[in-house]
Structure 1
Amino acid sequence: MHYPNEKIVAIIGAGPAGLVSARWLAQHGFEPIVFEASERLGGQWNPAAEASGTWAGMRTNTSRVMSAFSDLDHESDVATYPRQDQMLAYLERYADRFGLVRRIQFGKRIELLEAAPDGRWRIRSRTGEGMVEETFSHIVVATGAQARPLVPEIPGVESFTGALGIAHTSQYEGPERYRNHAVVVAGCSISALEIASDLAYGGARVTSAYRRQRYIVPKLIAGVPAEHVLFNRAAALALEALPPEALAEGLKAAVLKASGSPDQFGAPVPAGNIFAAGVSQSQGFLPAVAEGRIIVRPWIERIDGSTVLFSDGSHARPDAILFGTGYGLSLPWLDPAIARALNFDGTSLDLYANTFHPDLKGLAFVGLCNLVGPYLPVMELQARWIAYVLAGHVAMPSRARMEQGLEACRAMRERGQQPVLHELAVSLARHAGVEPDLERWPHLERALLFGPLSPVSFRLQGTDRLEDAPARTRAAAEAFGAIRSSTFTPEELHLRRLLEEQASVSP
């Protein structure tokens, strides 16, 4: 089928990224068609989806303020960190509110995305009735960043004879299966640490193994969600303005104040430079280490039958091994020519602001980025920016600017880094013309700088501003007792002055 009407936009995926993309494209006069392989929307939050890594009882890594879009808050009885079923219910409410279900073609699996001869894009998909071929001027890829579990190559892994076998944490369904069993959890990501804690408090004997000791922050810092404290607008502006050494020392000081150093709990000493060590998040991991519920070991050197040998010479004989070693992007249907243009290596893409590529006009990407920090607000900003570009509200960046962005993207990749989400959020808001001007909102300055990067804070001005955005922005900043007044603390004043000084000398 050929869609000559440029108002018809194909969206691949009906998870959070696809839904918010459809909502904003429809808002600005487009007719989105959403392709979804499953029989239900929700993406990762639909545990029945083939690629879902969620399970009943799983909690979000970000608060209910940050695990939502700007038009719709969670129900009042949802906890600080929503459960999997609550996130799915939220996404279904969101889809109902904006009439998105009728736009979703369920059970439609993508087989190929390629360039068509007329400069448009062709999608081949499979349904229960056979293969379908359709051509569109614009396509949004919104398939998520956690679709392909990564398992490292370890000598002897195929010889493991533990009774419960080997699995990736994406297959985890709760601690009951592992109760009274010994488990090695490999990895130091958020999911690895949270699952290690879940197992330890659920009656398993847990050994946690990882390559390097990261600094670990709790999900709640003095009752306030960590991303409200560490991934706010002031932190994003500091990344732009301050030298790396000052940033590293400032972040390290904040983390140590919030949670102490891992070695205080019995874990190894992390590297002095926090950027070299890395930062992870878990509410219960370090306390479980301190209580002896979790034994920490260095990385796995090899596996020999029932024995796991670690690089320090120690060993364990677990019943199970769980690899919490991250995810790659699952885009098997990308035509090789598109994959080459994107420099796709299985885990990342070369994109300008994680959204566009200058050589792939008509393609856009939402949600295929690092997951530490305000993920749903970033997806919404990407969706709004795409809709605004297509609708002509804002101009696409020049090719020269986009090429510079791609060079920066490649440089980060070579350093093994990915964009941090709070910095990306501020960048996307500027592109979309919705970054709030602090001088215009003096009564919200502290909330905007040191409160959360709440999605509604990007509805204060510009296209699609909301009348109630100021009140809701303040409420988001006051939630959990984070910011109760407009009076800056001494630490906030110090950072604010540094940012002002840097801005005054910048060209």
Structure 2
Amino acid sequence: MASKRSRTSPQERVCIVGAGPAGLSAARAFKRLGVPYAQYERHSDVGGIWDVDNPGTPMYESAHFISSRRTSGFFDFPMPDTFPDYPSNRQILRYTRDFTAAYGLREAIRFNTAVEAVERAGDMWAVTLGDGSRQHYRAVVCATGVTWAPRTPEHPGAFAGQIWHSSSYRSPLEFRGKRVLIVGLGNSGADIACDAAANADAAFVSIRRGYHLIPKHVFGVPSDEFGARGPQLPLRLERPLFGALLRLLQGDLTRYGLPKPDHRLFESHPLLNSQLIHHLQHGDVAIRPDVASLDGSRVRFIDGGSEEIDLILYATGYDWAIPYAERYFDWRDGRPDLYLTAFNRDHHNLFGLGYIEINSSAYTVFDHISNLLAQYLHDQDHAPARAARFDRMIVGDHPRLSGGIRFLDSARHRSYVDARTYRRYLATVRKRIGWSDLTPGMFDRQRLAATTQGASA
């Protein structure tokens, strides 16, 4: 049984890597329970991808939250009522910085400080910083996000025009005077296709399969809020009812060139967009099948058709990466195998926060995980027997978190989590271990803002 240890030494702190939403969630949870920590951020301010000045961010000018204001945001820190249903990237950045200020989290962050390497050092973790210095911590929380390593497919042939990944796209004005092909139709691809439809000389979207397109509003209510307000029906009832509603609202989308989906509703990541259908209806953008080859200024498709194109923009997603600690994670299909999406099964006190694919908004999910993480680290000192019980669960518990949904057979969806199932299972774990749930008022803003912690030198 572990003994209680003093937390006066910098070597006994926890290290948080990253000051985006996930890292800030962890910091607030640690601060509440008095878990000492140091936090490092390679950029000059908080916000992660939502700061367009952060080098490498995939953020573009027209980007908005795809979950609505009322169902999103940090726990017990609602977005302002003055925000629209779907806040812009600038509003989300402001909200994230307001959260940081409200709980006094900025003081513990060392900005402009990259983490170059995390290595096992006996019972500790050695963290090498960008300036070459080395610090030791009892635990490390990797919270650097999943949209920093663009994935670009290769197609046979040579292309005479420009090739971009969506991560480098910023403004709709970049499409002026160009014939643009967007490859991929995730949420970013759909947004960017609408920008191209309104600004390019011609706009096309190449897709490999059909998707269920969900409008952002249903009867004037944000779609996720509409779903949350209604009764929690079993999947066998919810799927046909919501599917019938979509057909009533949208009609047959194949008449606009969209392929019929080869999977059932809810079996892929939600594609929320209301503008794309408008642009398809007006001929501002056209659907094309998968790319077969590149031939000078022409792109050829698998159906034998082709288009003259000036710019190909790949909206084909990102590879997940934790480059500073890659070898300490068990990677499967490009995803780290983590208990409850956060706890490393093989390496004690190494965590990944934010490495999750889920069919809901993310911020409150981060808070639920951070709550468990903070109580676990706190118990290592104050209730070691309880922490040891959770140690055994990390190694031996393998819950199915899909909620009975047969997600698409793809690398992205093989690790997908159903939000309702996930939250229920987190509640089961809390009850089994004896930990508390999040409750309104538990994060006392005045007390936490007054509690100062300096990052280690």
TM-score by length of 1: 0.76
Q: How does 1:9-24 map to 2 (within 5 A)?
A: 9-24=14-29
Identity over aligned pairs, percent: 25
- Give the aligned residue type for 1:135: H
Q: Paired residue for 1:122? A: 126
> 1:86 and 2:83 equivalent?
no
- Out of 211, 224, 228, which is 2:225 matched to? 228
2:366 to 369, 379, 383: 379
Q: Which amino acid aligns with 2:25?
A: V
SS in structure 2 at match of 1:316: strand
Correspondence for 2:183 among 177, 183, 186: 186
Aligned to 1:143: 144
Alpha-carbon distance in 1 for matches of 2:199, 2:111: 37
- Report if the CA contact (8 A) 2:289-2:302 is conserved: yes
Question: Residue 68 of structure 2 aligns with which residue?
Answer: 63
Question: Following the alignment from structure 2 to structure 1, what is the Cα–Cα distance between the partners of residues 228 and 151?
Answer: 26
Paired letter, 1:364: F
How far, CA to CA, are the matches of 1:292 and 1:96 in structure 2? Answer: 46
Mapped contact 1:66–1:376 kept (Cα < 8 A)? no
Distance change >3 Å, CA 331–CA 433, structure 1 → 2: same
Report how far residue 465 of structure 1 moved.
2.0
Q: How much has 1:430 moved relative to structure 2?
A: 4.2
Deviations 1:121-148 (A, max 9, x none): 111111xxx3011111111111112121
Equivalent AA in structure 1 for residue 312 of structure 2: I
**1:427 counterpart residue number:** 425
- Does structure 2 retain, via aligned residues, the 8 Å contact 1:215–1:278? no
- Aligned-residue offset at 1:310: 0.6
Cα separation, 2, equivalents of 1:204 and 1:373: 36
Pairwise CA distance, 1:75: 2.7
For residues 52-74 of structure 1, give each alpha carbon's deviation from its aligned partner in whole angstroms, at most 9, with x where no partner exists. 11133421111122331123222
CA contact (8 A) 1:65 1:73 kept: yes
Amino acid at match of 1:343: W
Q: Whole-Å Cα distance in 2 between the matches of residues 233 and 378 of structure 1? A: 21
Runs of 4+ more than 4 Å apart = 2-7, 230-235, 246-251, 275-279, 393-396, 406-409, 411-415, 461-464
- Offset of residue 297 of structure 1: 0.8
Deviation of 1:362 (Å):
0.7
Q: CA deviation at 1:265?
A: 3.6
Please list every run of 5 or more consecutive structure 2 residues that lacks an aligned counterpart in the other structure: 1-6, 444-457
Aligned mates of 2:395, 2:242 — CA distance in 1: 30
- Specify the SS of the correspondent of 1:328: coil
CA distance in structure 2 between the partners assigned to 1:57 and 1:188 by the alignment: 16
Separation in structure 2 between the aligned mates of residue 95 and residue 294 of structure 1, nearest angstrom = 41
Distance 1:415 1:247 in 2: 24
1:62 alignment partner AA: S
Which of 420, 437, 440 does residue 466 from structure 1 map onto? 440
1:106-121 matched pairs, under 5 angstroms: 106-116=111-121, 118-121=122-125
CA distance in 2, matches of 1:234, 1:401: 33
Aligned with residue 314 of structure 1, among 293, 298, 305: 305
**Pairing 1:390–2:377 present:** yes
Encode CA deviations 1:163-200: one digit per residue, 9 max, x unaligned: xx111112111211212421000101011011101221
1:201 equivalent to 2:198? Answer yes
Contact kept, 8 Å, 2:204 with 2:287, in 1: the verdict is yes
1:429 CA drift (Å): 4.4
Letter in 1 for 2:133: V
Name the residue aligned to 2:449.
Answer: none
Distance 1:13 1:225, change over 3 A: same
User: After superposition, what is the alpha-carbon deviation per residue over 1:383-430, rounded to whole angstroms, capped at 9, x for unaligned?
Assistant: 111112222387554636753427889x98976423235233443344
Q: Kindly state the Cα deviation for residue 228 of structure 1 after the two structures are TM-superposed.
A: 2.5
Deviation of 1:269 after TM superposition, in Å, equals 2.3
| Alignment TM-score, normalising by the size of structure 2 | 0.83
1:74 counterpart SS class? coil
Query: In the comparison of the two structures, how many residue pairs are matched?
Result: 423
Residue 133 of structure 1 corresponds to which residue in structure 2? 134
**Structure 1: unaligned runs, 5 residues or longer:** 435-460, 470-507
Separation in 2, partners of 1:30, 1:77:
35
Higher RCO (C-alpha under 8 Å, 6+ residues apart): 2
1:270 paired with 2:265, answer: no
The alpha-carbon deviation at position 255 of structure 1 amounts to 4.0
Residue matched to 1:504: none
Contact 1:3 1:136 survives alignment (8 Å): no
Can you list the C-alpha shifts for 1:306-359, whole angstroms capped at 9, x where unaligned?
A: 1100111111111111111111213121252x13xx2255x3111111011232
Tell me the amino acid that sits aligned with residue 48 of structure 2.
Answer: G
Deviations 1:19-68 (A, max 9, x none): 11101111001122111111111100111112311133421111122331
Q: Residues 391, 228 of structure 1: CA spacing in aligned structure 2 closer, same or farther, 3 A cutoff?
A: same
Partners of 2:442 and 2:336 in 1: how far apart? 37
The correspondence of residues 288-299 of structure 1 with structure 2, limited to 5 A, is 288-299=279-290
Does structure 1 conserve the Cα–Cα contact (< 8 Å) formed by 2:11 and 2:135?
no
Corresponding position of 1:38: 43
Q: Which amino acid aligns with 1:193?
A: A
Query: Among 336, 343, 347, which residue is 2:331 paired with?
Result: 343
Counterpart-to-counterpart distance in 1, 2:177 and 2:424: 47
Give the equivalent residue in structure 2 for 1:285: 276
Structure 1 residues 78 and 407: alpha-carbon distance in aligned structure 2, compared to 1, 3 A threshold: closer
CA distance in 1, matches of 2:346, 2:228: 32
Give the deviation of 1:294 after TM superposition.
1.2
Cα distance in 1, alignment partners of residues 303 and 49 from structure 2: 37
| CA deviations over 1:349-377 (Å, ceiling 9, x no partner) | 11111011232211122111126421111
Distance 1:258 1:134, change over 3 A: farther
Q: Supply the distance in 2 between the matched residues of 1:75 and 1:375 (Cα, whole angstroms).
A: 18
Change (3 A) 1:171 1:378: same
- Asked whether 1:332 is paired with 2:323, we answer yes
User: Are the equivalent residues in 2 in contact too, given 1:213–1:268 (CA < 8 A)?
Assistant: yes
Indicate the SS of the match to 1:206. Answer: strand
* Structure 1 residue 96: Cα displacement: 0.8
* Corresponding residue number in structure 1 for 2:216: 219
CA distance in 2, matches of 1:160, 1:351: 40
How many Å separate the matches in 2 of 1:272 and 1:359? Answer: 35
Equivalences for residues 146-165 of structure 1 within 5 A: 146-156=147-157, 159-162=158-161, 165=162
